[in-house]
Amino acid sequence: MKTLTSVEFFRLLYIVDSMLNYKLITQDEAEAFIAELEGDAHDATGPSQTEAPTRLTNDERSAQALPTGVLAAELQRRGWVVMEP
């Protein structure tokens, strides 16, 4: 299982909090998920952070270079629901 960076961890916490606020999950579900995240984030048996980074394809590099608004508009055009974190 992949070890989360601090940015990924806090993004997931924000998402869980948002889901809780919109009553998409219960407090118990949120607490269980956060506990699972905290356990995974400190998992000594997980892969180390020193692993070689995954090579990006040309498409992935192109997507990363897109401004956020353009990417969001394209996702919406394809039927995705897009909202700010």
Angle CA(2)–CA(44)–CA(17) in degrees, nearest 5?
55
Per-residue CA distances from 18 to 4, 9, 25, 67, 80 (Å): 19, 14, 9, 24, 18
The answer to whether residue 63 scores a pLDDT higher than 80 is: no
Residues 24-30: contacts with CB within 8 Å, 24+ apart?
A: none
The pLDDT of residue 11 is 83
The pLDDT of residue 49 is 52
Mean pLDDT of the chain: 76
The pLDDT of residue 50 is 52
pLDDT tens-digit series, residues 19-44:
888 888 888 888 888 888 777 554 44
For residue 85, give the DSSP letter: -
Residue of higher predicted confidence among 2 and 43: 2
